[in-house]
Structure 1
Amino acid sequence: MKLPESAEWVLHCAASLAQLDGGATASTAQFAEHFGVPAPYLAKQLAHLVRAGLLTATTGPRGGFRLARPASQITVLDVIEAVDGGADPYQCREIRQQGRGALPAEDCTEPCVLATTMRAAHETWRASLAAVSLADVIGTLPADAPARTRRLLSRT
């Protein structure tokens, strides 16, 4: 599976928000400068997280984004699905019933082993991402990382 580059961006932005003090926000411009990514495209991706109910956004000079719920209640899967959707990346087209080697329909009443294998892999991948919250991610960071993130994203 190949995720869009924006998946990495929003994961890092969400993890950064999880490190901020309660009520603090960070703007698209702050994130774009912090991570060296284009602000207009990042803004569109962060809007996906707002629509998914993962972030809230406020406008104005002190506006920005904050987590919409505790970091322990937002999983990595939540963030990925907000920007990339939840569709299974493997779409079986039943090519075993096409071409010169086509099998008869009566031999294809069950999904093929390849479709079954790919579906199981996708479900395993989803389950592994669903098992990790933003709080879990923050818990693995070096002890000084949250303070550094807060300092670098603070408004001066």
Structure 2
Amino acid sequence: MKLREGVEWAVHCCINLSWISPDRAVPAARLAAFHDLPTAYLNKQMNALGRVGIVASRSGPRGGFRLGREPERITLMDVATAIDGSAQAFLCTGIRHHGPAGTITGPAADRTTCTVAQAFSTAELAWRRQLADRSIAELADTVRRANPAAPDQVRRWFDRP
């Protein structure tokens, strides 16, 4: 499964926003500067998160983004789907019915599920469940345990003019 870099960026921004006061909005330019990312592209990712309620935005001089719900209620699957969509990673085109393979017969040749499609579907379902089982709060806590100063450093950095 391949996810675009925007998913990584969005998850990092959500972790950072989880450490900022929920009544404070952070401009996309500041979020982008924190990881030296292009503002315009990050803004597109943040707007995608906003369309599904992961973040909320506020316009104006004190505008920007904040989490739209508690970090415990935002999963990695939520973020991945907001950025990359929900289309299946593997699509069976039914090639087992084409060419000489299409002439293979048996009692259930046309009624069975494609073994290849079934294998990929099972793997994708496991992958999606793993992402759905991990929250932004959980990742933020893992980062905090590895670097206890991280939340305060993030808050101080975003408080700078």
**Fold-level match, TM-score > 0.5?**
yes
Tell me if the contact between 1:49 and 1:55 (Cα under 8 Å) persists in the aligned partners: yes
Identity %: 35
Q: Secondary structure at the match of 1:109?
A: coil
CA contact (8 A) 2:76 2:132 kept: yes
Q: Which residue of structure 1 lines up, in the alignment, with residue 61 of structure 2?
A: 61
Partner of 1:88: 88
Preserved CA contact (<8 Å) 1:71 1:134: yes
Please identify, of 120-129 and 93-102, the stretch whose mean Cα deviation from structure 2 is larger: 93-102
Which residue number in structure 2 is paired with residue 18 of structure 1? 18
Cα offset for 1:21?
2.1
Structure 1 residue identity aligned to 2:122: A
1:104 is displaced (CA, Å) by 5.0
Q: Which amino acid is 1:94 matched to?
A: G
Distance in 2 (CA, whole Å) between partners of 1:140 and 1:16 is 13
Deviates more, 1:103-112 or 1:49-58: 103-112
**Inter-CA distance 110–154: structure 2 relative to 1 (3 Å threshold):** farther
Distance 1:92 1:104 in 2: 20
> 1:117 is matched with which residue?
119
Give the C-alpha shift of residue 155 in structure 1: 4.3
CA distance in 2, matches of 1:110, 1:155: 62
Partner residue in 2 for 1:150 = 155
- Classify the secondary structure of the residue corresponding to 1:151: helix
Contact 1:97 1:104 (8 Å CA) reproduced = no
Shift of 1:101: 2.4
- Per-residue CA shift, 1:13-35, capped at 9, x if unaligned? 11111111231221110011111
In angstroms, what is the RMSD of aligned CA positions? 1.4
